[in-house]
Amino acid sequence: MRNARHIVTITALILLSTYLMYAGLTSIGLMPTAASIQAGPIDWLFDIHVIAMSFLFSLITVILLYSLVVFRRKPGETGDGAHIEGNTGLEIFWTIVPLIVVIAFGIIGADNLRNVRAADPNALEVRVIGRQWDWRFEYPEGFSSTTLYLPVHKQVLLKLESSDVLHSFWVPEFRVKQDMIPGRVTELRITPTLEGEYPIKCAEICGTRHAYMVSPVVVVSQVAYDAWVTEQVALYEAELLASEGQPDARRGEQLYTQYCLACHSLTGTVGQGPTWKGLFGRENRPLADGSVVALVDEEYLYESITAPNAKIAQGFNANAMPSFSYLRDSQVYDLIEFIKTLE
């Protein structure tokens, strides 16, 4: 009879504590705004986890605290406590129930993943290139941007690539996250549901400036998106026209500061890569495999930039230089023109 009273009290306390804990946790805003269709199933899954967590925490702490207080030693009590030898019923119960719960979570999780990955054949495709330490987005129309513009209510299929180390594409408001692996293309599907600007963060520690590898994603109406694309295409075509003429060392220098400065000096000092001082026209350039390049000419420079692993300069390792094959040919020629000016 007394046992029954304890059990009723404990059950009530556990339920109360579960409710308070769940209400408390959901009121502090664990999640930022949900701004994609994919956020729906993820938030729901997260929610049932928070409920399970609140319950399990209460189950353990309530029983523990209740026992400490209610069954504490009374004044004058000197004997040992009751000797309990195990309880087969209880053991079967706490093996079977968690097993069922874990299997249920597994099934729910798999179904959730299927929903999050659901593909729309008309998805807009955007290529995302991450590198130390920024993002670039290439659109099907040929232009590229450092801000990711997306039309609202349309699925986008992101094709993720890294040109150096591991990165990870993550927009907390969209919830989904995907690693970017050098030499591989990974995919992520997002359907934005809310216009606005959100941060794209790198979620894989990738070097000293990892924390600053942030770019905006701007979700706009389809009309505003189409206008932006038209504008970008016009800019891109104008730039293409401008670069069609002769290669230009000044444009090459700009590209150098943007892409190559971190590794190549112009002063003769060797950094993460060989210096470019006196590179063009150099004879018998030694390679890592012991052979030599008879003459550093335009052809060798072109190959070194677009396929760095074809010939490895002496004193360096393969894969130490990321490939710049995504540069336009005219840009590679601008770079070569610039290297030629470095006596």
What is the spatial distance between Cα 184 and Cα 134, in angstroms, rounded to a whole number? 18
Q: Which of 293, 311, 295, 306 is nearest to 333 (CA)?
A: 306
Identify the residue among 170, 264, 333, 337 touching ligand HEC (CB under 6 A): 264
Whose Cβ is closer to ligand HEC: residue 118's or residue 262's?
A: 262
What is the spatial distance between Cα 17 and Cα 219, in angstroms, rounded to a whole number? 41
Is residue 11 within 8 Å of residue 152, measured between CB atoms? no
129 binds ligand HEC (CB under 6 A): no
Identify the residue among 150, 202, 217, 305 touching ligand HEC (CB under 6 A): 305
Determine how many CB atoms are found less than 10 A away from the CB of residue 149. 18
Q: Binds 263, which of Cu ion, ligand HEC, none (CB < 5 to 8 A, cut-off by type)? A: ligand HEC
Handedness of CA 10, 11, 16, 22 (dihedral sign): positive
Q: Give least dist CB 200 to Cu ion, A.
A: 11
206 binds Cu ion (CB under 5 A): yes
User: Using the 8-state DSSP alphabet, how is residue 315 labeled?
Assistant: T
25 binds ligand HEC (CB under 6 A): no
Contacts for 122 with CB less than 8 Å, ≥ 6 apart: 154, 155
302 binds ligand HEC (CB under 6 A): no
The stretch near ligand HEC (CB under 6 A) out of 91-99, 179-187, 195-203, 319-327 is 319-327
What is the spatial distance between Cα 136 and Cα 130, in angstroms, rounded to a whole number? 7
Is residue 174 within 8 Å of residue 39, measured between CB atoms? yes
CA within 13 Å, CB half, 245: 6
**Tokens 């075509």 found at:** 237
Radius of gyration over alpha carbons of the chain, in Å? 30
- Binding mask 184-203 toward Cu ion (x if CB under 5 A, else -) reads ------------------x-
Contacts for 285 with CB less than 8 Å, ≥ 6 apart: 292, 293, 295, 296, 300, 313
Q: Binds 213, which of ligand HEC, Cu ion, none (CB < 5 to 8 A, cut-off by type)? A: Cu ion
The stretch near ligand HEC (CB under 6 A) out of 118-126, 215-223, 227-235, 266-274 is 266-274
Residue count (the chain) = 343
285 binds ligand HEC (CB under 6 A): yes
260 binds ligand HEC (CB under 6 A): yes
Identify the residue among 128, 152, 213, 336 touching Cu ion (CB under 5 A): 213
163 binds ligand HEC (CB under 6 A): no
- Binding mask 153-182 toward Cu ion (x if CB under 5 A, else -) reads --------------x---------------
Q: Name the site residues for ligand HEC (rule: CB under 6 A).
A: 259-260, 262-264, 272-274, 279, 285, 301, 304-305, 308, 312-313, 316, 320-322, 324, 335
Q: Name the site residues for Cu ion (rule: CB under 5 A).
A: 167, 202, 206, 213
